[in-house]
Amino acid sequence: MSDPLTRLAELPSAEPDSARAERIRVRCRTRLGQRAPRAPASRARGGVAVRVWQTVIVVLGVGYMTEVVVQALRVYGLL
């Protein structure tokens, strides 16, 4: 019988390679250390514009959902 599962006992046991893990760890830490720190969020013109657009989008979304609920209640005769 040449079932591939019968040959599982012949495979070597899986053991972690500590040297490879350490190399990867060092490489990751080096790469993370090279990243430039992010500038703190300022209250510049771009920041104000983002906040205004977010507020507009939220208001439009709430208005839209309110209208959806009102229309649904009208369809079912509950309003």
In a domain, 3, yes or no: no
Given this model, what pLDDT does residue 62 score? 98
In a domain, 47, yes or no: yes
In a domain, 5, yes or no: no
pLDDT higher than threshold 80 for residue 24 = yes
Model-level pTM greater than 0.95?
A: no
Given this model, what pLDDT does residue 75 score? 94
Domain assignment of residue 23, given as a range: 12-36+43-75
Q: What is the pLDDT of residues 33-53, one digit of tens each?
A: 887 677 665 555 678 888 999
Instruction: State the DSSP string of 11-78.
Output: SPPP---HHHHHHHHHHHHHHHHHSPPPPPP--SHHHHHHHHHHHHHHHHHHHHHHHHHHHHHHHTT-
In a domain, 1, yes or no: no
Dihedral through CA 35, CA 40, CA 45, CA 46, nearest 10? 40
Given this model, what pLDDT does residue 65 score? 98
Query: What's the structural domain count of the chain?
Result: 1
